[in-house]
Structure 1
Amino acid sequence: MGRTLTTRRQFVGGVGTFGAVTFLGGGRAAAAEPSAADPGTDPARQLHARNAIFAIDTDTQTHYDALRAELIRHLGPVVIVRNDDRGGRYTLIHNGEQESLHPVSEIFELAKSIAHAPLGIYSIIAPYLGGRIPELPGSERLDRHDLDMVAFKGPGTTDWVAPLQSFAATLTVARRQLGDADMPSDLEASSTRILDASLGFVEESVRRRSFDMASFENYTSRLTDDIPTNLAHAARAQIEGVEALMTRWRDKVGTADWPGLYVVVLSIWTTSAPNQNSIIVKRFMDPATADSHLIDLQTAQPPADPIHVALDNLARIVQDNVAAELVFPLDHRLADALKGPADLVAPAILTQLACPYRSGTATRRTAGASPRPDPAGDRAGHAASDPARG
């Protein structure tokens, strides 16, 4: 459940997935070491007692996992979107049936591919930029420490020439065949200018055996109208493709089941907030549930089995949503903490960090004692959102 009542937790997804984390810690692989805090404690009895307590969490984890595994087979309707270079692979799961396809036309990928040319050049030359950064417009936005880490090779070598020439060969082939790609005329025109400018920068840099950010900025500044043109065509292609698919799937699922639709969008962190697919699909969801039923799931890398990852995380979310209201029916603060990505202990941590003397924590900590309960019974969540309450 993403909000733990224990302090021993591990991520159960096992696929580098962020955004929906587990409530429970894994089972203990080995017995805990006895504490030396109290010299009068029998280490063997303490070890036995603590392991008996840890067994509660281990058994809970077993039952929680069993519920999740069974629940996965009952989820639906669900739309799963795996973001990729083609605009996203969409999968509908409903009534035991599954349909998957790429709904976006190739114009999306064509337009973005050409717009990426400056980024491709930058990726080759960036490690050699040390000492070559003049004061450019907007340079105050550049984190110089980040720059130092990226420019890890420095300007003392021309090892960049060969990979830049290789990339130029790729650009040249695309430029020669651009007219045969059957793209809209304004997209073809902007793409032509992007490729010509990119090849010009490469040619000049290789001829001089040198480059700097001033010359690179001069190259990219000429594309401030053309790259947005390409991105506009990509956006239009994605909107049209996704809208047509979601309209068809809404009719297929039917008005009775559609309000319960969950949508899980898997994307890496750098494209997750907001993700273009999330923006489009949310318009087709029931307004009453869209905010809670649209799950943007961040992944460290595109998962090998995105459908399983999406359903596994969704099962955790759904069962936690129900558990929150049934386990804490009279305490909405705890119920809300049990739902969503927040950790159940986080409000208490925020409260104590905001006001360490609130319940004697700071003074008693030095004596090795646990902080005493808050006698006022104030809500940790309220105090966390309002530090003055400390």
Structure 2
Amino acid sequence: MATRRGFIGSASGISTAALLGYSASPSAADTPLTDTTSTGASAVTQQQAKDSIFAVNAGMRSNYATLKAELVKHLSPVIVVQNDAKGGRFTLVTANGQESVNPVAETFELAKSIAHVPLGCFSVIASYLADKIPNLPNADRIDPHDLLLVAFNDDRSTAWIEPLQAYAATLTAARKNLPAAGLPAALTTSCGNILDAALNFINASVQAKVFDMKSFEDFSGSVYPDIRVNMEHAAQAQIKGVQDTMKTWRAKVGEAAWADLYCVVLSQWTTSVLNQNTIIIKDCMNAAKVATHLIDLPGLETPKDPIFTALDNLARIVQDNIAAEMVFPKDTKVADALKGKEDLLSDEILIQLGGSAATTQSAPTYNTLSEGMCPVRK
């Protein structure tokens, strides 16, 4: 996607060759060529000829970036979702400005916090695991090489004891204060079960000065039903918070504008497929445009300016949608590639490598739930 997704900013005050990183110093390739245009003959080196061709693409990228920067100012209405530990920060962008909210109740974060306890324990002990897979029910699902990479410390070491005890102190404080948190009864019970089981695992491991994957999986497997209870409460809180906010914003922008709403969900790669907020939002949008207007934008980490990142990428998508049909009016397959996630050279590369040309897949349709499930829909 680098062929069309990256861009070079304005080259003002910088030579094209310097901007692109090409050396203009003489070389063996700089043999004089003859320019016999109507302006008369003049000596042109091979490198100068190449630089003039490189300048064509630099000019395109500069023009593309200028169009995108101006288009960003006209994107409306747009909802940008930043996935976070609180269930997501939502920002509504309209011609009148921006407003942001964290719509999900604290129950979401509290339930997930305790559900993450087994992962917290694992993160302390993982590097001290023996690199041999024991006889576990899921042994065939564990990649031996991946285990070797994770278990990089000596399994005979007891250096894990101190950090595990420190985590146990955190769990003990949470367990002591749990009744005062005001959680629903079922959630209080499940959280207590998870914390108690974790403390039992830690105490037994510290006392024996040893643990293994079997003992850890016995612990983590025993609390799975309680983790499911926490997941249920977290999901309920997130669904209600997001749906209520979408309903409020829909009334604010009006039906006509809402029909063309774009939603950009920023997420990490590991949660970019069936992202929780994407699932909820899809049924609150115009069903006819969900496939093209609900955009998951996965990244490696949270960008410094999430709103700009979302709008900048959305501007690329919107202008590519129009450019695709006008630049490639005679080849809809290539046009679809420009509009989607394919690189324009992908088909040709597959052909030359002896494979078959890829089939351009349309954007996924998320509206698979029955009508009327979202209170926002009329």
* TM-score bracket for this pair, using the shorter chain length: 0.7 to 0.9
Q: Which residue pairs with 1:369 in the alignment?
A: none
Tell me by how many angstroms 1:184 deviates. 0.6
Per-residue CA deviations over 1:200-240 (Å, capped at 9, x if unaligned) read 00000011111111111111121121001101110110001
The DSSP-based 3-state class of the residue aligned with 1:260 is coil
Inter-partner Cα distance in structure 2 for 1:271 and 1:46: 49
| Distance (whole Å) between structure 2 residues aligned to residue 312 and residue 13 of structure 1 | 14
1:270 paired with 2:270, answer yes
Pairwise CA distance, 1:287: 1.3
Distance 1:140 1:169 in 2: 35
CA contact (8 A) 2:7 2:65 kept: no
Task: Extract unaligned runs of 5+ from structure 1.
Answer: 15-25, 356-381
Would you say the 8 A contact 1:133–1:214 is kept in 2?
no
Aligned to 1:327: 327
Q: How many residues are paired up? A: 344
Matching residue of 2:239: 239
1:205 aligns to 2:197 (yes or no): no
| Other-structure match for 2:279 | 279
Under a length normalisation based on structure 1, what TM-score does the superposition of the two structures give? 0.83
Does the Cα contact within 8 Å between 2:131 and 2:144 map onto a contact in 1?
A: no
- Which region of structure 1 is more displaced relative to structure 2, 331-340 or 74-83? 331-340
Task: State how 1:34-73 maps to structure 2 within 5 Å.
Answer: 45-73=45-73
Match of 1:251?
251
* Alpha-carbon separation, structure 2, partners of 1:76 and 1:105: 27
**Which deviates more from structure 2 when the two are superposed, residues 27-36 or residues 82-91?**
27-36
Bigger relative CO (Cα 8 Å, ≥ 6 apart): 1
The answer to whether the aligner puts 1:139 opposite 2:131 as a matched pair is no
Q: Counterpart in 1 of 2:151? A: 151
Question: For structure 2, which runs of at least 5 residues remain unmatched after alignment?
Answer: 10-17, 35-42, 361-378
* Range with greater deviation from structure 2 (198-207 or 39-48): 39-48
Q: Offset at 1:178? A: 0.2
Specify whether residues 35 and 261 from structure 1 end up closer, same or farther in structure 2 by C-alpha distance, changes over 3 A only: farther
Residue of structure 2 equivalent to 1:368: none
**Counterpart contact for 1:107–1:237, Cα < 8 Å:** yes
Give, as a single letter, the amino acid of the residue that structure 2 aligns with 1:298. P
2:336 corresponds to: 336
| Paired residue secondary structure (2:353) | helix
Runs of 4+ residues deviating >3 angstroms: 9-14, 31-44, 382-386
- The one-character-per-residue Cα deviations of 1:244-268 (angstroms, maximum 9, x if unpaired) are 0001111111111111111000011
Q: Output the CA distance in 1 between the equivalents of 2:252 and 2:340.
A: 30
Amino acid at match of 2:113: S
User: Counterpart of 1:153 in 2: which secondary structure?
Assistant: coil
Residue 259 of structure 2 aligns to a residue in which SS?
A: helix
Separation of aligned partners in 2, 1:202 and 1:12: 52
After TM superposition, list the pairs within 5 Å mapping 1:348-387 onto structure 2: 348-355=348-355, 383-385=357-359
1:79 aligned onto 2:79: yes
Matches of 1:97 and 1:290 in 2, distance apart? 24
Sequence identity, in percent? 51
Distance 2:258 2:2 in 1: 29
Q: In 2, distance between residues paired with 1:384 and 1:198?
A: 49
Shift of 1:195: 0.2
Matched, 1:30 2:19: no
Alpha-carbon distance between aligned partners in 2 of 1:78 and 1:27, rounded to the nearest angstrom: 34
Deviation at 1:383, TM superposition (A): 3.9
2: CA distance, partners of 1:328 / 1:171: 60
Equivalent residue number for residue 18 of structure 1:
none
Q: 1:205 & 1:13 partners in 2: Cα distance?
A: 56
Judged with a 3 Å threshold, the aligned counterparts in structure 2 of structure 1 residues 276 and 10 are, in CA distance, closer, same or farther, namely closer
TM superposition shift of 1:187: 0.5
Conserved? CA contact 1:3–1:339, under 8 Å: no
Residue identity opposite 2:74 in structure 1: H
